[in-house]
């Protein structure tokens, strides 16, 4: 590091003169180079992430319908509106139910697939590809298959045809919130789309577990199977599991695509993002309330993330055991 600084000091001037020259590239000080490297990204981050958030904060204190330069200051009214808005609060409940189902099921499914694939002796790459392939499919396309072919609620739908074999009547999967069959559709589509991706993370982690641990356990008399899984594999996967759960939660918060495409014409089962979409960009174009809702959501996400970190120890690094 010290040599770099000396070089920088000794020849700062020709740096800009001949940037193409192989011997004298941009050799200015580390500080200058640091900003050349990170500057464009930081500028973009400030303009397209920080400025909108601050603007949103400002808008959230104003009456702002159909305009982004409002003049009527309303204090915390928008926040009160959103927190007493049944639809918005209902969307938080929808999210909670959604996360409570999708996070554990994806965790279990991706871990299960990883354990299976990892134990295969041949055709490993083939099966891994099959489970991973849905990652390439968009939520829109997958929703389309689910809504129009598998769970379309009429006789020719695949699920109903299959259930018909057992004499079960047609089920209108998406047409009514009672009984809430739409959850099955929503959850299964996301499970199909994302399980393979997290499976890869688990496979990588499984292969990082030192083989000696299993050997030592088997010398100590542990039976392969449930015992070694419970006492060795699972504890060794702790860091990965924590990361996966965190990623799943964040992804669940952002759920929009499949809800929008599967339930677009219904009034139930709207996650927060969809509710905000209708609030801010729908008929009323209420940017003030939309902004307040976005900020409430942001605070919630930060809280959940921090709490999760506290309980599960995300970011504490690998535990040596």
Partner 1 sequence: MTTTTTPPADRADRVAVSAKPRRVRTGSVIGSTGLYLATGFAALLFLIPFYLIVRNALMTDPEITGEEWKWFPTDIQWGNISEPFDDPSVDFARSLWNSAVVGVLHTVGTLLVCSLAGYGLARIPYKHANKVFYVVLGTLMVPTAVTFVPSFVLVSSLGWIDTYRGLIIPGLFSGFTCFLFRQYFLGFPKELEEAARVDGLGYMGAYWRVVVPNSLNFFAAMATITFISGWNSFLWPLVIGQDPSAWTVQVALSNYMTGQTITYHLIFMATAISILPLVFVFLFLQRWLVQGIAQTGIKG
Using the rule CB under 8 A, give the single segment among 84-92, 94-102, 174-182, 259-267 that binds partner 1: 259-267
Establish if 214 lies at the interface with partner 1 (CB under 8 A).
yes
Rounded Cα distance between 117 and 203, Å, is 8
Q: Taking CB under 8 A as the rule, which mask of x and - marks residues 277-296 in contact with partner 1?
A: x--xx-----x--xx-xx--
Among residues 13, 84, 86, 136, the one that binds partner 1 under rule CB under 8 A:
136
Rounded Cα distance between 193 and 248, Å, is 12
Report whether 205 contacts 237 (CB < 8 A). Answer: yes
186 to 205, contacts with partner 1 by CB under 8 A?
Answer: 192, 196-197, 200-201, 203-205
Q: Which is nearer to partner 1, 11 or 179 (CB)?
A: 11
148 to 177, contacts with partner 1 by CB under 8 A?
Answer: 148-150, 154-156, 158, 161
Q: Which is nearer to partner 1, 154 or 179 (CB)?
A: 154
Q: Which is nearer to partner 1, 105 or 298 (CB)?
A: 298
- Coil, strand or helix at 267: coil
Q: Which residues contact 261 (CB under 8 A, 6 or more apart)?
A: 139, 140, 143, 144, 147
Element (H, E) at 72: strand 72-73
Establish if 183 lies at the interface with partner 1 (CB under 8 A).
no
Establish if 182 lies at the interface with partner 1 (CB under 8 A).
no
57 to 86, contacts with partner 1 by CB under 8 A?
Answer: 59, 68
Rounded Cα distance between 171 and 228, Å, is 43
Q: Least distance (Å) from partner 1 to the CB of residue 138?
A: 4
Rounded Cα distance between 67 and 287, Å, is 8
Establish if 38 lies at the interface with partner 1 (CB under 8 A).
yes
Among residues 133, 175, 216, 234, the one that binds partner 1 under rule CB under 8 A:
133
Q: Which is nearer to partner 1, 98 or 287 (CB)?
A: 287
- Coil, strand or helix at 311: helix
Q: Which is nearer to partner 1, 104 or 224 (CB)?
A: 224
User: Measuring CA to CA, how many Å separate 312 from each of 101, 221, 248, 317?
Assistant: 19, 30, 14, 11
115: nearest Cα among 190, 194, 209, 192: 209
Report whether 234 contacts 225 (CB < 8 A). Answer: no
Establish if 106 lies at the interface with partner 1 (CB under 8 A).
no
Establish if 147 lies at the interface with partner 1 (CB under 8 A).
yes
């Amino acid at each position: 590091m010290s040599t770099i600084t000396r070089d920088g000091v000794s020849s700062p001037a020709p740096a800009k003169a001949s940037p193409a020259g192989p011997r004298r590239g941009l050799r200015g000080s580390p500080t200058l180079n640091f900003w050349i490297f990170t500057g464009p990204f930081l500028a973009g981050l400030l303009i397209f992430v920080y400025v909108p958030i601050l603007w949103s904060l400002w808008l959230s204190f104003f009456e702002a319908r159909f305009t982004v330069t409002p003049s009527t200051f309303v204090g915390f009214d928008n926040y009160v509106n959103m927190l007493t808005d049944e639809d918005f609060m209902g969307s938080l409940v929808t999210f909670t139910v959604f996360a409570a189902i999708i996070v554990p099921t994806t965790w279990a499914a991706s871990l299960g697939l990883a354990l299976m694939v990892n134990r295969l002796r041949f055709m490993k790459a083939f099966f891994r590809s099959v489970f991973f392939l849905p990652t390439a499919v968009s939520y829109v396309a997958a929703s389309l298959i689910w809504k129009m072919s598998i769970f379309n609620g009429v006789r020719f739908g695949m699920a109903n045809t299959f259930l018909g074999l057992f004499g079960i009547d047609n089920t209108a999967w998406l047409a009514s919130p009672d009984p809430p069959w739409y959850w099955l559709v929503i959850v299964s589509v996301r499970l199909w789309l994302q399980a393979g991706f997290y499976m890869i993370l688990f496979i990588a982690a499984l292969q990082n577990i030192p083989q000696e641990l299993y050997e030592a356990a088997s010398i100590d008399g542990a039976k392969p199977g449930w015992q070694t899984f419970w006492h060795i594999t699972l504890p060794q996967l702790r860091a990965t599991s924590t990361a996966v759960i965190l990623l799943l939660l964040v992804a669940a918060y952002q759920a929009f695509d499949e809800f929008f495409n599967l339930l677009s014409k219904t009034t139930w089962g709207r996650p927060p993002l969809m509710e905000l979409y209708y609030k801010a960009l729908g008929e009323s174009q209420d940017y003030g309330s939309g902004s307040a809702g976005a900020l409430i959501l942001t605070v919630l996400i930060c809280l959940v993330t921090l709490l999760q970190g506290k309980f599960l120890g995300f970011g504490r690094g690998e535990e040596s055991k």
